[in-house]
Amino acid sequence: DSGVTQTPKHLITATGQRVTLRCSPRSGDLSVYWYQQSLDQGLQFLIQYYNGEERAKGNILERFSAQQFPDLHSELNLSSLELGDSALYFCASSPTWRELPDTQYFGPGTRLTVL
Amino acid sequence: GESVGLHLPTLSVQEGDNSIINCAYSNSASDYFIWYKQESGKGPQFIIDIRSNMDKRQGQRVTVLLNKTVKHLSLQIAATQPGDSAVYFCAENFSGGYQKVTFGTGTKLQVIP
């Protein structure tokens, strides 16, 4: 158990809908990262937050957005969903954003299925 | 652009043999490298890391080798066990400005009993 929790574990929805994925980082970790993992694909970095502020952006679509709240939990919002958005979405946390090494601890993921 | 890739998508190894998983990276400025293991249905799990000022680092049954000249990273697993069956990702980390981690596609390790 990494200490990172994600809810829900599974999510099935229809095209055009909007969903929110939730992540609680490890106790004491200030950075939260979101990743997308499609079938037979590697981990695609979406976005990183540190202590409530956006720190880095990866291949995140404009239909997607995220935020980190004062209690450090984070939410990833996916809107106008398309079939191609079906994937595993992982959240990871780390203690800092600059210090080496910055090992990321991953949650169990949310499996999103868009029908 | 920056990319991290793996030479072999699938590796089959006999139980008890040693496994070697390879990774190539393209950003010569990357200063920290990590290997993750992802079992089916789970999130990636940290295995071992190495900084760019090192060539080799050993853990329990695992060794990571870094060759900066050819930008190559490898993970060696000694006496491979069925529980080692998983997808292995290498990741490169460039800390200039902010942490930027790029993951490779992954290599699936299948251990044959």
Counting residues of chain B whose pLDDT is more than 70, the rounded percentage is: 87
Candidate from B1-5, B9-13, B108-112 with smallest mean pLDDT: B1-5
Size of interface A-B (CB pairs under 8 A): 66
Question: Is pLDDT at B5 greater than 60 in this prediction?
Answer: no
Token pair, residue A84, equals 């191609």
Q: Does A107 touch chain B (CB under 8 A)?
A: yes
Q: What is the pLDDT of residues A32-87, one digit of tens each?
A: 999 999 876 678 889 999 999 998 888 799 999 999 999 999 999 999 999 999 99
- Minimum CA–CA partner of A38 in chain B: B105
Which backbone phi and psi does A72 adopt, to 5 degrees?
80, -5
Residue with the two structure tokens 């060539």 = B55
Query: Does the pLDDT of residue B95 top 90, yes or no?
Result: no
| Amino acid A43: pLDDT | 82
Question: What is the pLDDT averaged over residues B75-97?
Answer: 88
Query: Distance, in angstroms, between A106 CA and closest chain B CA?
Result: 6
Contact at 8 Å (CB) between B11 and B111?
no
Look at residues A79, A62, A80, A70 and name the one whose alpha carbon lies nearest to residue A21. Answer: A79
Instruction: Give the model confidence (pLDDT) of A7-24 as tens digits.
Output: 999 999 999 999 999 999
pLDDT given at position B93: 80
Whether A39 has its CB under 8 Å from any CB of chain B: the answer is no
Q: Taking all residues of chain B, what is their mean pLDDT, rounded to a whole number?
A: 86
For CA atoms B106, A41, A38, B94, the dihedral sign is positive
Lookup: tokens for A97: 């954003």
Amino acid at B29: A
User: Which residues in chain B are contacts of A105 at CB distance < 8 A?
Assistant: 46
A103–B46 CB contact, under 8 Å: yes
Those residues whose C-beta lies under 8 Å from the C-beta of residue A10, and which sit 6 or more positions away, are: A110, A111, A113
pLDDT tens sequence across B45-85: 989 999 999 999 999 999 999 999 999 999 999 999 999 99
- Name the minimum distance, in Å, from the CA of A54 to any CA of chain B: 11
Residue of B49, B101, B107 to mutate, testing the A interface (most A Cβ within 10 Å of its Cβ): B101
B45/A2 CB distance under 8 A: yes
CA A87 remoteness from chain centre: 12
Q: Which residue in A2, A4, A100 is closest to B51 by CB distance? A: A100
